[in-house]
Structure 1
């Protein structure tokens, strides 16, 4: 048995584990991710991994929470510093979602995706968290004199609708562009 880690070493190692795991999840997806491969890259034993996380699901969910919070901080900063309007926000969001859902397995994972964490409203805690985020965005716009007629719930649903559309682009096929244009028009008319 190795020596125990100091608190500083534990904090540094946990960051390293999450960074390595995030890269692996992005490249491989949840299903193909192997803890043994992670521990080898991190230079720790399998038992060492379990001193930090119960299982790969717990690790994955912590990484998702961290990434969700990072993305939300970035969105708020962009809206505030770049004076992004609601129309600009939803147009940029759709572009980012289209890009990420085709290039990053973190966004479309078979276990639990970043999109689910960011936008789905299917449980009360997530729904309230999403509404709180929408209220933060709305406050920035209100402080800039931009009034939005849609309710917080409608805005949260619009974000979820964009995510659903973008994650199903391949299934929708040739009709995607026309479907996207209809949703875009409906969405922008509500703002």
Structure 2
């Protein structure tokens, strides 16, 4: 029988599991990462893993739950909290999202395909659904306010936010895009999305009829 860990050892192992899990899940995904992959770098038996989590999926959820609020605050701070111009804020948010995805392994999983993550883990831990909702709520709030101010097109804020978030998939196809045009493509995509969400409403607000 394996000996019991001291409280200090438990804290150290738990911290390392989060670190190793974040790296492996980002590189290989949930399905291809085994319990052995997670425990080998720590020098503990596979059975010891279950003293901390019921499954690798539970560790995955823990990582997502911890990461989402940080990402939300970071993205909002550089966009909607940095400027009162809704169109400019959208462009900033989209650029910040792509930058985050390209430099942060776990963010790539969360932002590039959040719906599939939620679908996969909904039955495992309802916290993920709740945290995902809390991630998007600030966007729903600013979108509703922008609509009220006549600065954004009408429509369900949930639909508009998800449409905006589609830009997050672009980095997944970066290798198939000419590097010479990739930055311009990102900027054009961000500008088009921002214009589509705001310009028709702004024209109506100014009394300009669409052609």
Shorter-chain TM band: 0.5 to 0.7
1:106-129 deviation digits (Å, cap 9, x = unpaired)? 4555xxx445549x9989955753
Unmatched runs of 5 consecutive residues or more in structure 2: 203-211
* 1:6-155 to 2 correspondences below 5 Å: 6-78=6-78, 82=82, 85-101=85-101, 106-107=106-107, 109=109, 113-117=110-114, 125-126=129-130, 128-130=133-135, 132-134=137-139, 149-150=151-152, 154-155=156-157
The structure having more radius of gyration, on CA atoms, is 2
Aligned position for 1:183: 193
Name the structure 1 match of 2:162: 160
Structure 1 unaligned residues grouped into runs of 5+: none
Aligned residues: 183
1:85-132 deviation line (CA, Å, top 9, x unaligned): 5434322322233345566664555xxx445549x9989955753453
Q: Structure 1 residue 17: deviation in Å?
A: 0.5
- Asked if 1 retains the 8 angstrom alpha-carbon contact of 2:36 and 2:46, the reply is yes
TM-score by length of 2: 0.61
SS of equivalent to 2:32: coil
Q: TM-score, normalised by structure 1?
A: 0.66
CA distance, structure 1, for counterparts of residue 150 and residue 64 of structure 2: 30
2:207: which partner in 1? none
Between the aligned partners of 1:162 and 1:135, the Cα distance in structure 2 is: 12
Q: 1:182 to 1:165 in 2, by over 3 A?
A: same
3-state DSSP of counterpart to 1:31:
helix
Partner Cα separation in structure 1 for residue 118 and residue 23 of structure 2: 27
> Given that residues 39 and 46 in structure 1 are in contact (C-alpha distance below 8 angstroms), is that contact kept between their aligned partners in structure 2?
yes
Select between 85-94 and 51-60 the one with higher mean Cα deviation.
85-94
Q: Distance in 2 between matches of 1:47 and 1:57?
A: 16
- Do 1:108 and 1:115's aligned partners in 2 also have CA atoms closer than 8 Å? yes
